[in-house]
Amino acid sequence: MQILQQTFQVPYTYSIFFTKRLFDVANDTLRSFFGSFSQAGFQRKVLIAIDGGFLAHHPQLQEEINHYFSSLEDLVKLVPQLVVLPGGEAAKNDPALFDELVEAIDNYGIDRHSFVIGIGGGAILDLVGYAAAVSHRGVKHIRIPTTVLSQNDSGVGVKNGINYRGKKNFLGTFAPPVAVFNDLTFLQTLDDRDWRGGIAEAIKVALIKDQSFFEWIEVNAEALAQRNEEVMAYLIHRCAEMHVEHIRSGDPFEFGSSRPLDFGHWAAHKLEYLTDFQVRHGEAVAIGIALDCVYSVKVGKLTDAELQRILTVIQKLGFDLYHPKLAENDKINLRNGLQEFREHLGGRLTIMLLDRIGKGVEVHEMDANLIAESVDYLEGHYANLMVG
């Protein structure tokens, strides 16, 4: 027998820029970035795909983009077509949208020296990143997140994907962007649901990693709910900082089964599907966090006092703690979600629970009866709120 052993490392470097009015010609952030890629002999192009719902709230944006890139033609050339896509989870559920993106990449000759830019929420960025990653075995992609959720969590990470066969992110890649540009002014047109949705991911990362950050959220919950932009700017920056630090120091391509940043997500993913995505991702994560915190109490980890603090913060921010779909079909649907999560992890279940606020702990089994009791607890808690 003969064996050839191959080992190599590939370094990844990308920056996350925090700015305002990104496409204002007085803002040099993008100009400086593309200048760093200038190299003789290459005609670099840019294809932009944008969330149609976001564009409807910013009707002047296309003109601003064209005007901005007209001053960059010595660095990059913007292709004439702006690909407009439906936002939300619909972007990841329709294979025709993936085909449309790949066709545009092909038609406009977007090669590996060129760029695909996604502008939108997390779902759009997932789709655009996936299309770029599999075209030519990897076209450079840039993310411009337009929601709190994508600016502080999904948009700054390394994962891309689309839904397939009724399963969330069944097709996907680990393909880091070459840059992320967070424009705070883009958040101003969000509805209240999308404004608060991303805060769930900040609660998540604070609960498992940073007690002081949770306490900051606790103090500032009312200001966040009332759309204080300065407070939100800090939350986004801190949450994004913790997210990229975890990726850098952990298992960025998830070769193992440990996924601590998926705290609260196993139930959230299933709840999204069970509600046909009427419950949005951040809202589902808030409920999933509440469920796993109750379960943590029931297995003797988190204290009840800590649980009440967590549930109070979630409620103050305007989230629901319960949805009837959790209990539907005698909770069998929810248990199926746990099995699907196990499969997604490669067969070994790894779930993050809480030892205390700020300290997560991984477990590899969950008791179905205790899950059911945790659902009942949230249902009773919700019913008491409605009566009150």
Summarize pLDDT for 117-156 with one digit per residue, the tens: 999 999 999 999 999 999 999 999 999 999 999 999 889 9
pLDDT reported for residue 201: 93
Rounded CA gap, 348 and 240, in Å? 28
Q: Which pair of tokens denotes residue 43?
A: 């005609």
For the cut 70, the answer to whether the pLDDT of residue 258 exceeds it is: no
Which amino acid type is present at position 285?
V
Structural domain count, the chain: 2
| Domain end position, chosen among 154, 189, 224 | 189
pLDDT reported for residue 262: 83
95/207 same-domain check = no
pLDDT reported for residue 255: 67
202/349 same-domain check = yes
Check residues 254 and 364 and name the one with the higher pLDDT.
364
pLDDT, tens only, 343-379 = 766 667 888 999 999 999 999 899 999 999 999 999 9
Closest CA to 311 of 230, 384, 238: 384
Give the global pTM.
0.90
Give the mean pLDDT of 10-30: 95
Rounded CA gap, 110 and 259, in Å? 34
Query: What is the residue range of 230's domain?
Result: 192-387
Q: Give domain status of residue 8, yes or no.
A: no
Phi, psi of 37 (to 5 degrees): -100, 0
Give the mean pLDDT of 43-52: 95
Phi, psi of 75 (to 5 degrees): -110, -50
149/200 same-domain check = no
How high does pLDDT run on average in the chain?
91
147/200 same-domain check = no
pLDDT, tens only, 77-113 = 999 999 999 988 889 999 999 999 999 999 999 999 9
Rounded CA gap, 75 and 331, in Å? 56
Q: Give domain status of residue 2, yes or no.
A: no
Which amino acid type is present at position 223?
A
Give the mean pLDDT of 230-252: 90
Rounded CA gap, 73 and 68, in Å? 10
Q: Give domain status of residue 4, yes or no.
A: no
Q: Give domain status of residue 236, yes or no.
A: yes
Q: Give domain status of residue 3, yes or no.
A: no
Q: Give domain status of residue 162, yes or no.
A: yes
For the cut 60, the answer to whether the pLDDT of residue 257 exceeds it is: no
Q: Where are the alpha helices (DSSP H) in 140-252?
A: 148-152, 192-197, 199-209, 211-225, 229-249
Give the mean pLDDT of 45-57: 96
369/355 same-domain check = yes
144/231 same-domain check = no
Q: What is the CATH number of the domain that holds 183?
A: 3.40.50.1970
Q: Give domain status of residue 1, yes or no.
A: no
pLDDT reported for residue 40: 60
Looking at the chain, the whole-number percentage of residues with pLDDT higher than 90 is 75
244-252: which pairs have CB atoms within 8 A and are 24 or more residues apart?
Answer: 244/16, 244/156, 244/157, 246/205, 246/209, 247/157, 247/158, 252/12, 252/158, 252/174
Q: Give domain status of residue 9, yes or no.
A: no
Confidence of residue 41 (pLDDT cuts 50, 70, 90): low
For the cut 70, the answer to whether the pLDDT of residue 186 exceeds it is: yes
293/325 same-domain check = yes
Task: Determine the length of the chain.
Answer: 388
| Domain end position, chosen among 121, 154, 189 | 189
Q: What is the CATH number of the domain that holds 196?
A: 1.20.1090.10
Instruction: Report CA dihedral (280, 281, 282, 284) to the nearest 10 degrees.
Output: 80
Check residues 348 and 313 and name the one with the higher pLDDT.
313
pLDDT reported for residue 185: 96
* The residue to which tokens 């496409």 are assigned: 23
323/174 same-domain check = no
